[in-house]
Chain A
Amino acid sequence: MKRLLILGGGTAGTIAANKLRRRLPRDDWSITVVDKDDEHVYQPGLLFLPFGVYRPEELVKPRRNFLPHGVDLIVGYIDMVKASDNQVILSDGRTLDYDYLLVATGTSPRPDQTPGMTSDEWRQSIFDFYTLDGATALRDKLANWAGGRLVVHVTEMPIKCPVAPLEFAFTADAFFEQRGIRGKVDITYVTPLDGAFTRPTASKQLGGMLHDRGIKIEPDFVIDRVDPENKALISMDERVIPFDLLVTVPLNMGPEYLARSGLGDELNYLPVDKATLQSKQYDNIFALGDGSDIPTSKAGSVAHFSADVLVENFLAHVSGRPMSRAFDGHANCFIETGHDKGLLIDFDYANEPLPGKYPLPFVGPFSLLDESRVNHLGKLAFRWAYWNLLMHGRPLPLPSHQLGGPQKPRADRLATPGRS
Chain B
Amino acid sequence: MPVTTLDGHTVHIDDEGFLTDYDEWDEDLAKVLAANIGIDLGEEHWKVIRFLRSDYKERGETATTRRVQTVGGVPVKEQFTLFPNKPGKKMAYIAGLPKPRGCV
Contacts and interface: CB of A to CB of B under 8 A. Distances in A.
Interface of A: 156-158, 162, 193-194, 198-199, 220, 222, 224, 236-237, 265-267, 295-297, 329, 331
A220 B85 contact: yes
Given A220-B85, A222-B65, A237-B80, A158 B71 contact: no
Nearest to B85: A237
A267 B66 contact: yes
Contacts of B77: 224, 236
Q: 5 shortest A-B CB distances, which residue pairs?
A: A157-B103, A266-B70, A236-B80, A198-B102, A266-B67
Interface string B68-104: 0011000011001000111000000000000001111
Contact of A236 (B67, B70, B76, B102): B76
Identify whether the interface residues of B are mostly helix, strand, loop, or mixed. loop
Contact of B104 (A156, A158, A224, A236): A158
Contacts of A193: 102-103
A296 B103 CA distance: 8
A162 B61 CA distance: 21
Nearest to B86: A220
A222 B104 contact: no
Contacts, number: 43
Contacts of A266: 64, 66-67, 70-71
21 contacts: A157-B102, A157-B103, A162-B103, A193-B102, A198-B102, A198-B104, A199-B104, A220-B85, A222-B65, A222-B76, A224-B76, A224-B77, A236-B76, A236-B77, A237-B84, A237-B85, A265-B67, A266-B71, A295-B61, A295-B101, A297-B104
B80 A295 contact: no
B103 A198 contact: yes
A92 B76 CA distance: 37
A156 B76 CA distance: 12
B102 A156 contact: no
Contacts of B67: 265-266
Nearest to A266: B70
Question: Most chain-B CB neighbours within 10 Å: which of A198, A222, A224?
Answer: A222
Contacts of B66: 156, 266-267
Contacts of A237: 80, 84-85
A224 B78 CA distance: 11
A61 to B, nearest CB: 29
